[in-house]
Every structure is written in structure tokens, then in C-alpha cells.
Amino acid sequence: MPTKPIKIGIIGCGHIAQKHLASYEAIMQKESDLFRITSVCDMVEENARALAARIAEWQDSEPLAHTDVHKMVVHYELHGADICTPHYDHHVSGVQCLEAGTNVLIEKPFGLTSRASRLILDAAAKKKLITACAGNIRRQPAQRALHWAIHQRGMIGEPRMFFVQHAGYHRPTTPRAWHWRTDKFMGGGGMIMDQGIHFADMISYLFGEPERIYATVRQHEKWPYIREGKTIFDDREDMWMVMLNLKSGVDGFWSSTAVAPGEPSTVIAYYGSAGSITDDSDVFTGPSPNARLTRQGEAVRPLSEVIQEYMKSLSADDRGRLFPHGFEDSITLEIYDFLRALATDTKPEIDGSLGLRTKAICEAIYESAHCNEAVPYDEVVNGFIEGYQREINDYWGI
């Protein structure tokens, strides 16, 4: 167990690292001796230097700026690394950190593929180190309240089914700037994997893991991207329809598309034996506080009211565990969970094994579409089914 302050390194100093930074700053304001960010690393030196300078604005020392993960973790003591690199690098940086004795918090999705995720877990097991996966959405008051309303208050009765669907339109012919996410080998998949992982975590949090998944995944439009002056085309999906049969007996349908011109539509609906929760916010991260809870034959209640009731019902211990220092921002909560796990040598809520299992829901969707059959979820988790992922694993030599 490290003595405080815990030494943290941030790897990958791009978009999400900036968000993590705001959370570290908020935590430091409440617990000034909990941690220090002593190193940051980005393959682009100016990104690392810029992040280090920003940290020095609120921390009493400026972190060292590195460009090589291996050198950083081998030469400088770090108790935890917060890995914010693109998906294809998670297992590379993750294994380097773990082999050097550094615990890891890895941004979602945990590994590029199921195999890549297992490489990280194996490295952690060898060194008996902590792995955490940065799943943030379930930590929000609305999602915690929903879980409580369903499981402790039985507000919709026995959960039965859900329908989560969105149809919208983004003009597919407008060229966009190329980004690693547009490359199947770098991202591991498209939105099913990138944002869909939030949906996957929420569904398993609320209703448990899938037994079986059947999916159709298509690309209707060739999306142009500009990379170094050249136009290249995105091969990611722009439409999916997924049927999920969960081990709990709940059945669900999840679908989203960005190529449905005309009137957009969004439905988020969970039904149980006594009522429903409905919403029209976001099919990846919903339901929102604007959702409505309806018990059959009773007046509709806004979820915001249920959230208040839930927050009031929390014991001091639960409040300290779920919303330490009154934090409600989901990224702050995920980072605090990691720091607390390091400080107390305990398991974070979403550890690497859960990260792998959540990611396997997204992977099972691609696998089902690849073989055009329903796939047993557990066989995707344990790696027996990997037809879709094989090409990605071969590409990176995983």
C-alpha cells in the first residue's frame, strides 16, 4: 500500500486527459495529501508539456513531461498510471506499466479486443496489481437512483424488457478531419464500441449480463475523412439493431443509426411487471434526470424527484462511498474510486475483469453480425468466439 501522497502518472494528454485533470484538481481541493501527479506522458511532446504546465497551475509541483511510457515507468516510481491513450494503445501502455509495478486506470474500452484485455489482466495478475476501467456513467446520481428505484424500491416491479432506439441523420457526404477513431484497427470498432460501451455498462449494471446476443450491423454510407490532404473513407458502422437476452430473463432491443433522414426519433423505455421508466435523451448514456417513472394506474413522476428521494435515503456511509466529498461528476467519481483503491489496497468498483466483461457485450454485437448468428455472450468473454476480432488481433500481433 503506497504512503500518501500517491504518485500518479497520466499517459496520453489529449481530449479526455483534460477532463480527468479537472477532476484531479477538484479532488485535490478536498484532500490535498491524497496524491500528486508526478509524471505525464504523450508521444507528442508539446501535448505532454502543455498538460504538465496546466497541472502546475494548481498543484505545488510540476510533473515531469515524458514522451516514452516504458522509460517513464521504469525510471520513475509511480503508484498509479491513468491511461488516456487511443484504444489500440491501452494494452501496450497498460502491460508496460503493470510489468514495471504500476497499477492502472485505463480509459474505456478496457482493451482493444478481448485478447488485448486479457493481456492486461494477465500482467496485473502476475504482479498482483490493481486494474480499473474508466466507466463513469453508472456513477451519476440519475443512474444510481434508477438502480435503487428498480432493485431496492421495486418501483417498476420485476424488470421485463427494454427498448432503446435512436434514428437521426448526419450528412454523410460532408468531409470531416481524420481521427484514429475512424480506423477500425485503431478503434477496435465504431460507435458500438466507443460510446456503446456506456450503454453496455448501464444495461449490465441495471439488469445483469447477457446470455445471448443477436445483431445486425451495417454501413449504409461511405463517410469521407480528410487525412493529410487526402480523402479516405470510414469503414465503421452507421446502423445497428441488437437483440439482447439477459441471464436475468430480461430481454432488450438496442438500435441506433446516423443515416436516417427525415424526422429523428428516440425511445428509451424500461418495463417491469408494475410500470415503466421512459426517456428521450441519449441511447448511449441515458436515462437522464428528465426521464419519467410511471407505475401502472398512478401519476407519472419525473426521475429528478426519485433522484432527490434516493439521495435523501442514503446513509452517511453509502454517501461517502458513492459520492465522496459530495462529488457528483462521474469522471471525478471514477478517478476518486481508483485513488481510494490504491490508498486502501481494495478493488475499484469497475476493475479490469468487469471492464473486459462490459467490453465483451460490444464485441458480441460485432461477432454476431460477423457470423450472422446469435452468439453466447460467455463464449465471447472467454475468447472462443473471435471471428470479428481476429483481423484486429492479427494486425497488431495480439
Ligand X SMILES: NC(=O)c1ccc[n+]([C@@H]2O[C@H](COP(=O)([O-])OP(=O)(O)OC[C@H]3O[C@@H](n4cnc5c(N)ncnc54)[C@H](O)[C@@H]3O)[C@@H](O)[C@H]2O)c1
The residue sitting closest to ligand X, measured at its beta carbon, is 14
Query: Residue 337 and residue 103: Cα distance in Å, rounded?
Result: 13
Report the residue number, 69 or 150, with the smaller CB distance to ligand X: 69
Site stretch for ligand X (CB under 6 A), options 35-43, 207-215, 217-225, 388-396? 35-43
43 binding ligand X? (CB under 6 A) = yes
270 in Cβ contact with 276 (< 8 Å): yes
Residue tagged 508496460 (cell numbers)? 96
Residue 222's contacts (CB-CB under 8 Å, 6 or more residues apart) are 172, 233, 234
Give the one residue of 8, 10, 13, 339 binding ligand X; rule: CB under 6 A: 13
The reply to whether 15 sits near ligand X by the rule CB under 6 A is: yes
Q: Is 377 helix (H, G, I), strand (E, B) or coil?
A: helix
| Comparison of 21 and 41: residue with beta carbon closer to ligand X | 41
How many Å apart are CA 87 and CA 110, to the nearest integer? 8
Least distance (Å) between residue 323 CB and ligand X? 18
Identify which of residues 177 and 316 has a Cβ nearer to ligand X in the complex: 177
Query: By CB under 6 A, is residue 16 in contact with ligand X?
Result: yes
Contact flags string 183-202 toward ligand X, x per CB under 6 A:
-----------x--------
Site for ligand X in 46-65 (CB under 6 A): 47
> Of these, 6, 8, 37, 41, which contacts ligand X (CB under 6 A)?
41
Task: Answer yes or no whether residue 69 interacts with ligand X by CB under 6 A.
Answer: yes
Binding of residue 143 to ligand X (CB under 6 A): no
Task: Give CA–CA dist 96/46, Å, rounded.
Answer: 22
Alpha-carbon distance 131 to 103, whole Å? 6
How many degrees, rounded to 5, is the angle at CA 180 between CA 177 and CA 184? 115
| Cβ proximity of 105 and 134 under 8 Å | yes
Q: How far apart are CA 337 and CA 322, in angstroms?
A: 9
**Is 40 one of the binding residues for ligand X (CB under 6 A)?**
no
* Contact by Cβ (8 Å): 156, 276: yes
Strand 64-66 versus strand 35-41 pairing type? parallel
Residue 84 binds ligand X (CB under 6 A): yes
Nearest approach, Cβ of residue 52 and ligand X (Å): 13
Among residues 14, 289, 324, 376, the one that binds ligand X under rule CB under 6 A: 14
Rounded Cα distance, 38 and 387, in Å: 42
Determine the interface stretch with ligand X among 38-46, 55-63, 298-306, 387-395 (rule: CB under 6 A).
38-46
Residues 232-291 that bind ligand X (CB under 6 A): none
Strands (E), 16-91: 35-41, 64-66, 80-83
- Look at the block and give the residue holding cell 421495486: 154
| Span of 8-16, 57-65, 239-247, 291-299 interacting with ligand X by CB under 6 A | 8-16
Check residue 183 and report its DSSP letter: S
The minimum distance between CB 42 and ligand X, in angstroms, equals 4
**Minimum Å distance from CB 198 to ligand X?**
7
Letter for the amino acid at 265?
Answer: S
* Binding region for ligand X (CB under 6 A): 11-16, 41-44, 47, 69, 84-87, 89, 93, 107-108, 134, 136, 194
